[in-house]
Structure 1
Amino acid sequence: MEEDEKITDFAGAGTKEGIEVWVIKSTNLIEALPPNELGLFDETLTYICLHTHGTPPHSWDVHFWLGAQSASDRHCLAALKATELDQYLKYRSNMHREVQEHESAAFLAMFKGNIRYQKGNAQAILRSSAKNATKRLYHVKGKKHCRVAEVPFSFNSLNQDDVFILDVGDKIFVWNGPHANNGEKVKGAEVSRNIRDFERAGRAKIEFIDDEWDSHPEFFSQLECKPLPAVTRAIDSDEESEKRSNVSIQLFRVSDASGTLMIEPVSGKISYTSLDTNDCFFLDTGSSASGLYAWLGKNCTDEERKAVWDNALVAYLKRKRLPLHTPICKVNENHEPALFRALLNFPPKKVEKNLQHSLSRGIAHVDSNEKFDVSKMQISRKQSICQAVDDSKGKKKVWRVAAFDIHLLPENDHGIFYAGDSYIILYTSEKVPGGIIYYWLGNHSTIDEKATAAMFVNKIDEAECKGKATQMRVIQFKEPEHFIKMFGNVLVILKGGVESGFKSPRVNFNDFFKHDHSCQMFQIRGRRIVEVDVEAKNLNSNDIFFVKTNHKQGYTWIGKGASQEEQESALKIPEIFDLIENKQIAEGDEPTAFWYLLGGKEAYAKGERLENPSPEYASRLFHCSNARGKFVVEEIVDFTQQDLESDDVMILDTFDEIYVWLGQNSNIDEKKAALDTVLRYVAADKSGRTEENTNLLVVKQKFEPTSFKAHFGIWDEHLWDNELGYEKLKELISRNVDFIHDTKNEPLKVRQMEAEFTKTHSIEVLRAKTDQLPFGVDAANKEVAFYLFCLFQN
């Protein structure tokens, strides 16, 4: 009962979005502040502040504030009360310790621009968060494992060999020294983006400084200096810095797994892999500015949660004699701030490779020095049919992810998805114990949106299903049968996302479409209606296309090879788009008005295999890789563009033509082996195909011809824009123009490409930079190419 009485101090807290503040006047007296007093703090007292995010609430931040003139016993009491509030919220909040005049930027921002200090009844003193929020300078250094540390806010902290991040609140500068390595630049870009998106709610502007590293006026004025004197070189190397940073950062495990609560330092090299979801940890950053972090694993015990804050951190703060205002922050697993992630070298948040197809593919292995047995490729792998869970007629709740939050959608918008967003769908029925929670990830949904979706799946599971739901990750165009049937057997996938604003097509479709042109085009592939660019070249004889004008009218263009399933999906178009008139057009009978809407008639994908599809000649896709230490060929069934792996080589067999697709990150050994495999594959074919009567082509990623794209259904020209290096990451963060294609990358014959690997090159050619070497030259073994050159010259 005693514990329950303590918790009643916060009864009803955290149920509505916004800020709640309590003042602690004595051990037994805690008062909630009225709205008109929020932001007013008495220097002699301590306070508890709760920031609730979302409707319904999905996350909480608990701040306990210590006045400069408050007694030390009140500090302990404030920490105790903050922990009680955290317990009331079922230990789901992030908890922060705030000290007067040293408050965090997040705390200052909570009160919309200012907080006020007062002594008793004295006049309040105003502190503006916009004017006085602490500016920070971060140092990014390392070679294999870059570290990020806060350094003194001074020109003298800079050096030419590293990257520095200057955070001034509404703007973040990424200053790249002229001798900084690529890893440091990538890490600097990633950390700055995390600060902007996670700590500034996406409102800060990021500016990259490369060429003006010694003369950028605004950057140096923020540091209260001019660009002179010159920035010096680094005192130590990246390797030496890595060794020293590993020593200065200390990580401690708090665990009761042995039956007794133990606090032990983590030995060896410290990184994100040192963390364990079953325990709690606290991290000493080695910097009084960065302070201490308490990290709570998702599966840690209640005793560990209490101990990591009450016993470990507070005791550690006293034992180390750290300043009273040393920042202390408690964070939950999967919700770590940017600096914490950087200190433990978390990997960048990027799209996971699609591994779903590996469950249904046939696999053939060979030793690295062995020729691949191409006869195994002649055996077609059939798709395994997944048994439906139920009739898909249960109840649904659908949320859309936006701005690190989720928003419940009305029923009219169910089944309508934006490729730039992520969604969470809760499905419940009597035949599905516990329910199913799908999280659907659009191809152009940001990394942070996908991470947010994954985080909220667990929260929804706990809140709606008591942790008993089956959780399923669904990738755009890889939706399972049960998922599609939930939405009336057809999905609508639109371009754009959160920035476009969400408008229901059934309610006011025309308001949403505000492009430069007056119509939109949709490709009907199977049971998906997908918005594509309005261009005649995007037509495909194998599918149905719908062109909608801005007057509730449209044309449905039916390709000669369209399936019965696609025709059934097309019947739902008038209802979905609220049409007054919909004209049916057969391929080959298009009126002039139709071509006018598409900007003129152009060549598009057509031909015997597309116009008269047959299971006997169905296209087949093979994945080639030596990532496992041996060359492996696997067939992918029911393939889409997402199955093309940038790190590997693919073989597409359309019967009339066979393509070798080279991923931009594939290695030379994979390319050589794939070319050899294709030639032997055709030679071993018993259907009458030969190298002479079959077109064997090589295409490069992002330079695929129309005839190749047509076999992948909906083709997305921007799917691989997020294959990030520093320049690409910088470009995307800065919202610059899209990737510009090199028109010289035309398809080559397999035999032509094979010849590239046996070419010889002079020493002058081989002295070029790695990214400028001729195709077929292994940058790690350039001496082989030179040896061949000398051999042939003699």
Structure 2
Amino acid sequence: MAVSMKNVDPAFQGIGQKAGLEIWRIENFVPVPLPKSDHGKFYTGDSYIILKTTALKSGALRYDIHFWLGKATSQDEAGTAAIKSVELDAALGGRAVQYREVQGSESDKFLTYFKPCIIPLEGGCASGFKKPEVEKIEPRLFCCKGRRVVRVKEVPFSRSSLNHDDVFILDTDVKIYQFNGVNSSIQERAKALEVVQFIKDNDHDGKCAVAIVEDGKMAAEADAGEFWGLFGGFAPIGKKASIKENEDEDPGSGKLFICLVDGNVQEVSASPLPRELLETDKCYLLDGGPTVYVWTGRATSLDERKSASKAAEEYIAKKPETTRITRVIEGFETLPFKSYFGEWTTAGGAPVVSEEGRGKVAALLKQQGVDVKGLLKGASVKEDEPSLFNSSGKLEVWRVDGKTKTPVPSEAHGHFYSGDCFVVRYTYQGDQKETECFVCCWLGNQSTEEDQSSAFSHVEEISSSFKGRLVQARVFEGKEPSQFFALFSSLVIFKGGQSSGYKTLVSESASEDETYTEEGLALFRVRGTKPYNSLAVQVEPVSASLNSSDCFIFQSAKTYLLWFGSFSTLEEQQVAARIATSLKSESSPKSLKEGSEPPTFWNALGGKKVYPSQRELVDSDKDPRLFEYTRKPGNLLFEETFNFTQDDLLSDDIMILDTRCELSVWIGQNVSPKDKKQGLAIAEKYVERANRLDGLSKDIPIFKILEGSEPAFFTRHFAWDPSKSAAYVDPFERRLAALQGRPAQGHDTPPKKRTATNGANEPKLDADSSSPMASSQRQSPLTPRPSFTPRKSPVESKEPSPEPVVDPTPTTSESSDAPPPPAATGPFSYEILKVKSSSNPPGIDVTKRESYLSPEEFKSVFGMEVDQFRALPKWKQDQYKKAADLF
């Protein structure tokens, strides 16, 4: 990076060291830090610089810079804020995205930093005047807009300011009134109540009465009479709709493209724009309507970046005052900016930085004056244990063959074939003691489209007949999520397939050159360290398939062994040994470390050839992002919800939660039946867009989740309050009850929308929108199925299946009337509690056999106290219980 640090303001030394907000106010053209007690207080006569530092799961720090301009700030102060923002970015290593925020037209991202709202104060530092102290508050009228992020704007205290579409807050000396326009939504009313609470706490010391006035409901309400009396008495409100906010720009239709370094102005008519236009030693301006973008190449100097910033400010002088500016640096572009271009690719590919390289870069930046703490962090943090399903449920697996599905015997559960599709159903008892179900289709990489479509149809059929809490999923081979892994004792993917459609393709495309060096030869690559990420995949039995980062299972007519790559860990080697035992239980494999192979090993693989011998770095999960799905005439939009919470999941909406490893499409209860059915098709549209702009895998697992049936692996990304989903309470009622100090009234389902969505000009999804495979064309299979046959493990062949807690089969009225057996209390001896015991005590909970042991015998069996055992993750408790024959 060619940025010199000598011209960076001293106020920015040592900033961005930890997550949080840092704010500076421009005073006499110098950025002055604000104390945390003043964060969120903005004066209309001032300009501010705001730095938001976010700690990512990878350990790195992400920076967003905003400069906020009050409506009465001077041009000189506004210009200073813009230039100083560029210097602040340089101090952070030139990696931040910079946003120009104008009072009254702030971005959603900026507003989420200061919940519930921003209400600018009159006055300012530079003008020398402050907000005067008054004994009595003059009435103030505010208009509130927004369902997730509320925008508060003070309007003239006049009846003509009111309308039927918005929510208004009237703040007086003794009481705060909230006026709900008849056409306003429940979410807008709820957000406005947060503003009422904010005004009450900040301007009235929490000692002010609150009144709710409903548009059109006069009756004999005293509060309504008081409210209208302040306006000189009741009179009808005009039918004029509220003034619309700035329309969002239309991605993919940039109006003007300017090179800001050499002054070359290019009118580019291409839509979308070609990515090749951006050169790393130049700065460019892109006019997107309400937002103007400045793109800065990595090879530009600090002075060039300042000049580009100044040019952008001059450019928008002729545009509306509410126009925003977003400045992005090469390599850190935002999705809205990328949307103007075709398929987005990083110039030169993604850089690979070794540890030695990281140290050299950090030392160089330190010489330039950059504080490098957190700058180039790349080591992944310790992965959290994922939230998995209850492990005491009932697992069923079917193999798909055309329109039919055939049950897979329990001993073959976890054995999949690349040429086939499978349907998996897991029924279990959830935390709320309700029957829950997870149903998914697993699609092999070489399976036919007919089988894929049929698998999805079977999933839909199973889902429609289930009446409890349900989660649907689509899983592609090689992209299995942890929830899927954990359902099986071992997951193995074999080459070939058994469906008639696959066999037909093989016979039509088989080649005479397809031969094996030896009958019965098979090679499996094994990856994973835990039960929720372990996988064995059959690969071509040639030396080029080996990899120093992995473990491999090798079988020939005479040999059965484990090959450990030099970079494999002890945990990975133990997983490989466990899977090898489950595949061929009658013989124990021999271990072979990389570098000690005998000649016969290489001869069996067709000779020693070059294979990957460097350590592979696995990307850790990225921070999750939440997107709202909306329709506009001729377009499908996915708008990001920043700093999201559970309250952002609104019953009227469809939301996409993207963790980069899996995708969840969340569907609110109030969504139309038509859109509910197209949930997966909507998710596929998001995947198509994210793949083009952000490199998201097309085969990412997709979960379909209905409001009220959220599984733990979804809720863990929120600060989840189960009481909010136990019974529907509309957000306005919940907040009003909290404000009034009373319990909220719940309902079984949310109220229906007042008006139906107009479907005219709605964009159409794929013709076969019910099929998740519309955009997933698979390669024709060429590899025949090997002679290697999986065998049951000792555990599978000797131990009976654990008794399931939940039986999805409906019970008859006779069985439901029968009295339950008396509950057992214990304690009982370990020998009669074991699964294999023929004298299990009647009435015990078979999922909690360990709880009937005495404390002394519990410690003898498990080697730890009861409290220590309970502190373990659920999956680890189950492992101990399986080993002790108590599961």
The TM-score normalised by the length of structure 1 is 0.36
Higher relative contact order (CA 8 A, sep 6+): 2
The TM-score normalised by the length of structure 2 is 0.33
Q: Which has the higher strand share?
A: 1
Highest CA radius of gyration, 1 or 2? 2
